[in-house]
A and B are shown apart, each in its own frame.
Chain A
Amino acid sequence: SQQGEEDPQALSIQEGENATMNCSYKTSINNLQWYRQNSGRGLVHLILIRSNEREKHSGRLRVTLDTSKKSSSLLITASRAADTASYFCATERLTGANSKLTFGKGITLSVRP
């Protein structure tokens, strides 16, 4: 079963507004990552937050992690039409030399010009 579950499934906002996307997961993790996918393309890594971190920033992105609630949120500030894409959270658990990500089903973000 999938580890990450994003919420909402789809989000439509006006350019300039902030977009908040949530992710919940079920088991312990080493880190949580957010990826973006433009239509017809591969995924691109956006930001990673480790299990001992609570908040991280990268440009217009802000991600939070609450391990007690097993949840994360991704905030995109001052959204642009070019932010229109699907966003996925993924959790990583490290077991020895093995490294695997488990992805959620994704959130479709539409930013209206």
Chain B
Amino acid sequence: DAGITQSPRHKVTETGTPVTLRCHQTENHRYMYWYRQDPGHGLRLIHYSYGVKDTDKGEVSDGYSVSRSKTEDFLLTLESATSSQTSVYFCATKGGLATLVGFNEQFFGPGTRLTVL
């Protein structure tokens, strides 16, 4: 898994509580991504980062925020979890400059299964 870990791997929480998921990489990759995977929807991009402190929204960013204070960590926060945020969350990374050959694939973490009751 290219040195990408996610924590926690499983979490059950209640509606209205804050939740933070952590992605940690040891590859010194520039780009980091948070996706959610739901049946019938495939993977959808929540937020991504193209450098330390540089982040941008994906297609399903409402209700989520992110922070990247150092290269190796990318945090995803659900400020007030809702049942619609029950999902499997994947972190991914990509190294180097986007236009260079060999730097275009993304490497995925093992996922975090989040259940919001």
Contact = CB atoms under 8 A, between A and B. Distances in A.
Interface of B: 1, 4, 31, 33, 35, 40-45, 48, 50-51, 56, 58-59, 90, 92, 94, 97-99, 104-111
A99 B98 contact: yes
B1 A42 contact: yes
Contacts, number: 65
A97 B48 CA distance: 12
Contacts of B105: 33, 45, 48
B114 to A, nearest CB: 15
B41 A105 contact: yes
A98 B108 contact: no
B60 to A, nearest CB: 11
Interface residues of A, number: 24
Given A98-B98, A100-B45, A100-B58, 15 more contacts: A2-B42, A41-B110, A41-B111, A42-B109, A43-B43, A43-B90, A44-B108, A45-B106, A48-B104, A88-B43, A92-B104, A94-B99, A97-B51, A100-B48, A105-B40
